[in-house]
Amino acid sequence: MDILEGLNDEQRAAVTSTEGFVRVAAGAGSGKTRALSRRFAWLVNELGVMPGNILCVTFSNKSAGEMQRRIHNLIGDNDTGYISTFHGFCLSVLQEEAHIIQYPRSFMVLDNTDIDAMLDIIYRERGLTLRHMSFSRARDMIEIRKTITETDYYRDMTAMPLEPLRQKYESASDPSDIIFYGYLYQEKKCFGLDYNDLIMLTLHVFDQDRETRQKWQQRLEYVMIDEFQDIDRLQYRLMEALCGYHKNLFIVGDPDQTIYTWRGADVRYFLDFDKAFPGVKTISMMKNYRSSPQIIAAANSLISKNSVRMEKSILPTLKDGAPVLCYHASNSEEEASWIVGEIKKLREAGAELRDICVLYRAHHVTRTLEDVFIKEKIPYTIYSGVPFFERREIRDALAYLRMIAFRDDLSFARIVNVPRRNMGERRMAFLREYAAQNNCTLWEALNLTVEQEIFKGTRAAQCIALIEGLAGDSSSRPVSELLAEVLDASGYERMLRTEGAQNRLDNLAELEQSVHEFETTCGEEAALPDYLARMALFTGSDAGDARDRVKLMTVHAAKGLEFPYVFLCAMNEGVFPSQKTRTREGMEEERRLAFVAMTRAQKGLFLSEAGGRNSDGSPRYPSRFLLDIGEPLLKFIQRPADSLIADAREYIAFSSHWLERGAEEAIFSVGERVTHRTFGEGVVLEVDRGRSAYRVRFDGLPTPRVLSFRAPLERLISL
Q: Which of 32, 38, 534, 551 is catalytic?
A: 32
Q: Which of 600, 624, 689, 697 is catalytic?
A: 600
Chain centre to alpha carbon of residue 129 = 28
Is 33 one of the catalytic residues? yes
Helix axes 479-489, 502-522, angle to 10 degrees: 160
Dihedral pair phi/psi, residue 326, rounded to 5°:
-135, 135
Is 458 one of the catalytic residues? no
Is 591 one of the catalytic residues? no
Q: Report cis status (omega within 30 of 0) of the bond before 419.
A: yes
Contact, 652 vs 624, CB < 8 A? yes
Nearest to 203 by CA among 172, 227, 234: 234
Question: Coil, strand, or helix at residue 323?
Answer: coil
Phi-psi region of 258 (alpha: psi -120 to 50; beta: other; left: phi over 0): beta
Write the CB contacts of 393 (distance below 8 Å, at least 6 apart in sequence). 496, 501, 504, 505, 507, 508
Is 129 one of the catalytic residues? no
**Alpha-carbon dihedral angle through residues 692, 697, 702, 706, given to the nearest 10 degrees:** 0
In sign, the C-alpha dihedral spanning 675, 676, 678, 682 is negative
- β partners of residue 696: 684, 705
Q: Which of 33, 95, 158, 579 is catalytic?
A: 33
Dihedral pair phi/psi, residue 604, rounded to 5°:
-140, 135
- Residue 139 to residue 124: CA distance in whole angstroms: 17
Residue 590 burial (10 A CB sphere; 0-12, 13-18, 19+): buried
Q: Which of 227, 393, 530, 609 is catalytic?
A: 227
- Residue 477 to residue 453: CA distance in whole angstroms: 36
Is 257 one of the catalytic residues? yes
Provide DSSP, 345-378.
Answer: HHHHTT--GGGEEEEESSGGGHHHHHHHHHHTT-
- β partners of residue 281: 22
C-alpha triplet 451, 456, 458: angle, nearest 5°: 110
End-to-end CA, the chain = 45
Read off the amino acid at residue 492: Y
Is 456 one of the catalytic residues? no
- Residue 284 to residue 458: CA distance in whole angstroms: 67
Residues taking part in catalysis: 32-33, 226-227, 257, 600
